[in-house]
Chain A
Amino acid sequence: MNFRNVGIVYRKELTEWVRDRRTLISTVLVPLLAFPILMVGMISLTTVMIGKAEKEIPKVMVLGGEDSPQILQKLRQVDKLEIVPAADDYKKRISEKEIRAAVEIPKGFDSALSRGEEQTVKIYFYEGEIKSSFGANHVEKFFKDYRDTVVASRLASRNVPASIIKPFEVKQENVAPPEKVSGAALGGILGYMVILLSMTGAIYPAIDLTAGEKERGTMETILSSPISRLDLVLGKFFLVLSASLTTAILAIFSMGTSFYVVGKSGLVPSKNAAALQLHIGLATVLSVFLMALPLAVFFAAVLLTISLFAKTYKEAQSYLTPMTFVVVIPAVASLLPGVELTPKLALIPILSTSLVCKEIVAGTFHWNYIILILLSSSVYAAAGLFLAVKMFQRESVLFRS
């Protein structure tokens, strides 16, 4: 191997790469803009939708209750509810969003209540429809508050202390430090994003530097120069790896900034904003990148190998598109609840890295697994690179017609 030649090829590929508008879009603009737009857009939209739903005074239909003026009067006094007259087609009206919910008051509610008989108030709503749920919640809260008032007055009339029905409190308290809480929520996403973006960031340059060269007729030009195929493939490989890591770094930077800005902007309620504040230090981010590095090497080498096999840019694209699924499926699998590192899973590429990144971001360092995964993914990376070099030495691939 001649480092000077590898460097010459790398610098030339870099020059061409930064001059390519498509590169600017796929490697720089998409990762930098995708997250802010997605984050701010989604959160703003959700905030607006929830805000509108919360501000709305829901129309609620009261079914029955003609013989219970007391409860009807109390219901009508609730500011947050607009009571509409009863109708038989209440279910249809809820479905068609004319009203948000309906409440069915049992026959003789007031008198049964005074006799202390048990009875059930039914609330009808449309599950999954946020405004209907809010309406139903308002109604439910009203009845629960009313029930508590009734219970309290019954106890008071019998001179029984309120604690008789609540002998003790049950309370959960979190002991996990903030980084672990955010790590559990966002850790999986960080690893997943680094892995996915280091793959997607490598696709375009891998195609351009192989099938693209064949299509443009420059492959034969470079093969006529004295550079060895090993140096040539390494120069190209380092460029693809650089593109892959640049995309991932820019995306992580953009994701972190978006989370921070959205969390601070007041767009989301303060208790949710706390969850968006990534309590992830630079060391953690670097650890994630270190774990993902052999995988990025593996991606760069495999993508180069596959796209070299193609004769044209389009053919290479059709080969590499399914590759996205091959990467996404194990990466997503690691996000599923309950999927945890085991010695066997530590040997599965992509899945193992994604899982260990989740652990690292959550502040847990299983050194045995970290070493095992680094070793196994380095072996895969070396195999991928070996394959790429071998592929560049095959005339049947370089001059496939």
Chain B
Amino acid sequence: MIEARGLSKRFQDKKRGEIKAVDNVSFACKPGQIYGLLGANGAGKTTTLRMLATILEPTDGTAVVSGYDVIDHPEKVRAHVGFLSTATALYPRLTSQEMVEYFGRLNGLDEATLKKRVDDIFNRLDMNGFRDRRCDKLSTGMKQKTSIARTLVHDPPVMIFDEPTTGLDVMTARTIIGFIADCRDRGKAVIFSTHIMSEVERLCDHVGIIHDGKLLEEGTVPELRAKYSEHNLEEIIVRVVGPLHSSLEA
């Protein structure tokens, strides 16, 4: 379960002064659900997800992830979260297996459990062919699988994906999409940010549209289509964000 309660994040910029990257954002994602966070670049998606993963600390508000408050128990939260983004790279000089084992140990797994878990994941993701290959020698697809294995090794109940398919080829992106769907089927609460509407339509139970740090709209995809009398999700986002754009431009 993920519950954001008035999450806000302000940064100080030397030139622009105070910037509200995320402004009073609240939403919830239940186990077995995928929540899609949609918005343009710079809308505040990554900052929101980083706060949920406790990589960044909220300036105001809070969030509860798997029953732990992100401010009071950040380490407990991280132990219950699998976080994957385009910015979470692999250690080039570790092998695929060492990479996964490292994160398993950091998550407190004992050696027997770790071995069992690693074998299970490597079999499930068909990774045995490159388990002893260094990460800097892996193809993009192999790297993504290793990253997925890294997020799964401690079997977290919550998964957070920040634009996980950006820059990937079709086949690798399909693997990721399949994996996200699999997470939901296994009863995990999944938060997912993307620019690709086909992925949203295929995966998301709930979506939130974020712009300039504010959560402007929220609902299921059918609810949003009904509310805006529009089938195309892109058009819906433009209409949600549009009035704000117009007022800014005026």
B92: A residues at CB distance < 8 A:
216
State whether B107 touches A220 (Cβ < 8 A): no
A228: B residues at CB distance < 8 A:
75
Query: Which of B76, B88, B94, B106 makes the CB contact (< 8 A) with A227?
Result: B106
State whether B89 touches A226 (Cβ < 8 A): no
Instruction: Using A217-B89, A224-B83 as known contacts, say yes or no to A12 and B55 having CB atoms under 8 A apart.
Output: no
Q: How far is the CA of A12 from the CA of B103 in the complex (A)?
A: 10
Shortest Cβ gap from A289 to chain B (Å): 29
Query: Which of B11, B12, B88 makes the CB contact (< 8 A) with A224?
Result: B88
A26: B residues at CB distance < 8 A:
none
Q: C-beta contact mask, B50-81 vs A, less than 8 Å → 1, else 0? A: 00010111000000000000000001101101
Which A219-243 residues have a C-beta within 8 angstroms of B? 220-221, 223-228
State whether B93 touches A220 (Cβ < 8 A): no
A20 contacts the other chain (CB 8 A) = yes
A253 contacts the other chain (CB 8 A) = no
A98: B residues at CB distance < 8 A:
none
B87 contacts the other chain (CB 8 A) = yes
B55: A residues at CB distance < 8 A:
220, 223-224
A8 contacts the other chain (CB 8 A) = yes
A8: B residues at CB distance < 8 A:
102, 105-106
B117 contacts the other chain (CB 8 A) = no
Give the nearest-CB partner of A19 in chain B: B93
B3 contacts the other chain (CB 8 A) = no
B155 contacts the other chain (CB 8 A) = no
Q: How far is the CA of A8 from the CA of B99 in the complex (A)?
A: 12
Instruction: Using A224-B83, A225-B103, A225-B107 as known contacts, say yes or no to A20 and B93 having CB atoms under 8 A apart.
Output: yes
B108 contacts the other chain (CB 8 A) = yes
B56: A residues at CB distance < 8 A:
395, 399
Give the nearest-CB partner of B136 in chain A: A216
A15 contacts the other chain (CB 8 A) = yes
A395: B residues at CB distance < 8 A:
56-57
State whether A226 touches B93 (Cβ < 8 A): no
Instruction: Using A223-B55, A226-B76 as known contacts, say yes or no to A218 and B81 having CB atoms under 8 A apart.
Output: no
B85 contacts the other chain (CB 8 A) = yes
Q: C-beta contact mask, B166-180 vs A, less than 8 Å → 1, else 0? A: 000000000000000
B150 contacts the other chain (CB 8 A) = yes
Which B167-212 residues have a C-beta within 8 angstroms of A? none
Which A1-51 residues have a C-beta within 8 angstroms of B? 5, 8-9, 12, 15-16, 19-20
B241 contacts the other chain (CB 8 A) = no
Q: How far is the CA of A285 from the CA of B90 in the complex (A)?
A: 41
Instruction: Using A15-B98, A16-B94, A226-B76 as known contacts, say yes or no to A221 and B106 having CB atoms under 8 A apart.
Output: no
B107: A residues at CB distance < 8 A:
225-226
Interface size class on chain A is: 20 to 34
B91 contacts the other chain (CB 8 A) = yes
B89: A residues at CB distance < 8 A:
216-218, 220-221
State whether B57 touches A225 (Cβ < 8 A): no
State whether B103 touches A218 (Cβ < 8 A): no
Query: Which of B75, B88, B90, B91 makes the CB contact (< 8 A) with A226?
Result: B75
Question: Which of A216, A220, A396 has the most chain B CB atoms closer than 10 A to its own CB?
Answer: A220
Give the nearest-CB partner of A18 in chain B: B93
Q: How far is the CA of A228 from the CA of B78 in the complex (A)?
A: 10
Instruction: Using A16-B91, A216-B92 as known contacts, say yes or no to A5 and B106 having CB atoms under 8 A apart.
Output: yes
Give the nearest-CB partner of A218 in chain B: B89
Query: Which of B78, B93, B94, B98 makes the CB contact (< 8 A) with A225?
Result: B78
State whether B79 touches A16 (Cβ < 8 A): no
State whether B106 touches A225 (Cβ < 8 A): yes
Give the nearest-CB partner of B12 in chain A: A396
Give the nearest-CB partner of B11 in chain A: A396
Q: How far is the CA of A226 from the CA of B103 in the complex (A)?
A: 9
Shortest Cβ gap from B2 to chain A (Å): 15
A9: B residues at CB distance < 8 A:
106
Shortest Cβ gap from A135 to chain B (Å): 61
Shortest Cβ gap from B117 to chain A (Å): 15
State whether A226 touches B87 (Cβ < 8 A): no
Question: Which of A12, A16, A221, A228 has the most chain B CB atoms closer than 10 A to its own CB?
Answer: A221
Q: How far is the CA of A5 from the CA of B78 in the complex (A)?
A: 14
A396: B residues at CB distance < 8 A:
11-12
Shortest Cβ gap from B156 to chain A (Å): 10
Shortest Cβ gap from B151 to chain A (Å): 8
State whether B87 touches A220 (Cβ < 8 A): yes
Shortest Cβ gap from A341 to chain B (Å): 44
A220: B residues at CB distance < 8 A:
55, 85, 87-89
Which A318-371 residues have a C-beta within 8 angstroms of B? none
Q: C-beta contact mask, B88-120 vs A, less than 8 Å → 1, else 0? A: 111111100010001101111000000000000
Q: How far is the CA of A176 from the CA of B73 in the complex (A)?
A: 65
Shortest Cβ gap from B191 to chain A (Å): 13
State whether B150 touches A221 (Cβ < 8 A): yes
Q: C-beta contact mask, B199-230 vs A, less than 8 Å → 1, else 0? A: 00000000000000000000000000000000
A-B CB contact pairs (8 Å), 7 listed: A8-B102, A12-B91, A12-B102, A220-B87, A226-B75, A226-B79, A226-B108
Residues of B within 8 A of A (CB): 11-12, 53, 55-57, 75-76, 78-79, 81, 83, 85, 87-94, 98, 102-103, 105-108, 134, 150
Residues of A within 8 A of B (CB): 5, 8-9, 12, 15-16, 19-20, 216-218, 220-221, 223-228, 395-396, 399
Please provide the 4 A-B residue pairs with the shortest distance between their CB atoms, ordered closest to farther.
A217-B89, A224-B83, A226-B79, A221-B88
